[in-house]
Structures are given as C-alpha cells and as structure tokens.
Amino acid sequence: MKQVFVVRSDLKMGKGKIAAQVAHAAIECYKKSARDDIIRWESEGSKKVVLKISGEDDLLHLRRVCSARHLKTCIIHDAGLTQVEPGSITVLGIGPADDEEIDRVTGHLKMM
C-alpha cells in the first residue's frame, strides 16, 4: 500500500513550500482513512510517493477518476500568504490504498 501526493508543477512552489503542502495532505488523508487500511499500510512501512501534474484542471480530473474508483482523496488549498494565489489548489492526496489501485490512475504521472 502507499499514499500518493500529486503536486501542481505549474505553481512553481519552492521545495519547503511543496513539503509543507504535502504534509498537510498526508495528515488529511490519514485522518480520512479506515483504521484497517492504516494498520496494513503502516505494517508495510507507510510508503509515500510524490508525483507531479501540470495544472489544476488535470488535478481535478484525476480526483474525479479516483472517486469513481472509490479511492479516498483529499485536496489541499493554500492559504496563499506566500508564493501562490490565495485558495489555490496545490496538492491532491490519495490513499493509503493498494499500490496497483493507485498506479491504475496515476501511472502516467512522473515522480517529482
């Protein structure tokens, strides 16, 4: 199992900013997850993968694809105090879920 974070590359966020946004998504997805999934995921090492996507439209489309496949997601909006416009969507978090389930929807995306 793994958690996957899909980060918008068009926002040109710095690496500290990206890390903070991904951390928000990690906790939000963790809180949404079923206890059994968390236990299994942690027993396998709590794998986390960070991917990139070109923009908001593609990110929202991917979220709809996840929902259709019953993959749990969370969307992170930035407060916008620094670097990006207030309210911008920065990251889509997915899972934890089975690697194969997630790969089926994110297999076309590159590692960040």
Least CB distance to a second copy at residue 52 (A): 8
Cα separation, 102 vs 80, whole angstroms: 29
Least CB distance to a second copy at residue 90 (A): 11
**What pairs with residue 8 in β-bridges?**
53
Residue closer to a second copy, measured from CB, 93 or 105: 93
Determine contact, residues 61/76, Cβ cutoff 8 Å. no
Residue closer to a second copy, measured from CB, 34 or 68: 34
Quote the distance between the C-alpha of residue 76 and its chain's center.
8
Least CB distance to a second copy at residue 67 (A): 22
Q: Could you list the residues that contact a second copy (CB under 8 A)?
A: 3, 5, 7, 14-27, 30, 45-46, 48-52, 79, 111-112
Cα separation, 110 vs 80, whole angstroms: 26
